[in-house]
Amino acid sequence: MNLSLYRDEGTWLHRLDPRTKIVGALVIFAWCLCFNHPAPQVMIMASLVLIAFLSRSQGTFWTLRHLLVLLILFSSALWPFFVRGQNALWAWRSLQISRESLLFGIAMGLRLASFVMAGLLLLATTRNEEITGGLIRLGLPYPVAFALATALRLVPTFAGAGAAIVQAQVSRGLDLETKNLVARIGKFIPLAVPMFITAIRYTNFLAMALESRGFRPDRPRSFFYEPRMARLDWLVLVILFCLFGLFLYLRLGMGMGVIMPGRL
């Protein structure tokens, strides 16, 4: 079962240099940190959705829609109890929910979802070897880049193995739909044993394959894939950094997009 997030669509975003997409994702993370009011966070999230449609990667968001919704809901429910505002909406003993804390919690949930969406766009439009080459060209040491690339490669492999194990047990009569939530979670615990065995076996095979090929991460290496920056890459980076400068000015110079002035 292939659960890779990459979608080979050949759009303008797919053709960008991987360094552009990696730096662009980091800049979008910085965008999200500029505001703690829900309104600008909604605008940033809408921009990410628009980019996903333009790059035909919206299916990745739909696949992980439950995760995005849970991030927003949990943050919106928890943050109001840890920050205080002036306009109280509800209070009980030491607990208080204010208008400001509620809006701040919603903004933090949207910020987390935007972080995930920016990372998903990077993974949906960039091959694993392109990410490795981009990280190395950005100055990251090869052992670190190789470790990150290996981790990205193993995540869909382990997720696919887990899904195959669950489907195999369901086909043998395992009921994962009925009873309460605690009982259903308990039924997943025995499935962790074959999952861990599969993970250990796969990593052992990977280590033996690397050793048999004489892999040494500290030796100088040459690469078949050589990324090159084009005009479109520079244009995209200029736009992203200009927007980042504008957002900083709106936050620091004009005080806009802020519901809690003392917090990021």
Judge whether 77 and 112 are in contact, CB under 8 Å.
no
Q: What is the pLDDT of residues 117-150, one digit of tens each?
A: 999 999 889 988 888 888 888 888 888 888 887 7
Residue 88, pLDDT above cutoff 80: no
- Partnered with residue 92 across adjacent β-strands are 95
Greater confidence (239 vs 199) lies with 239
pLDDT band at 219 (very low <50, low <70, confident <90, very high): confident
- Burial class of residue 140 in the structure, from the number of CB atoms within 10 Å of its CB (0-12 exposed, 13-18 middle, 19+ buried): middle
Residue 49, pLDDT above cutoff 90: yes
pLDDT at 3: 57
Structural tokens at position 222: 């040459």
pLDDT band at 81 (very low <50, low <70, confident <90, very high): confident
**Type of residue numbered 14:** H
Domain extent listing, the chain: 1-126+230-264, 140-228
CA atoms of 95 and 98, how far apart (whole Å): 10
Q: What is the pLDDT of residues 159-217, one digit of tens each?
A: 777 778 778 877 877 776 766 666 766 777 777 778 778 878 887 888 888 778 777 77
pLDDT at 232: 92
Q: What is the pLDDT of residues 56-80, one digit of tens each?
A: 988 888 888 888 888 899 888 888 8
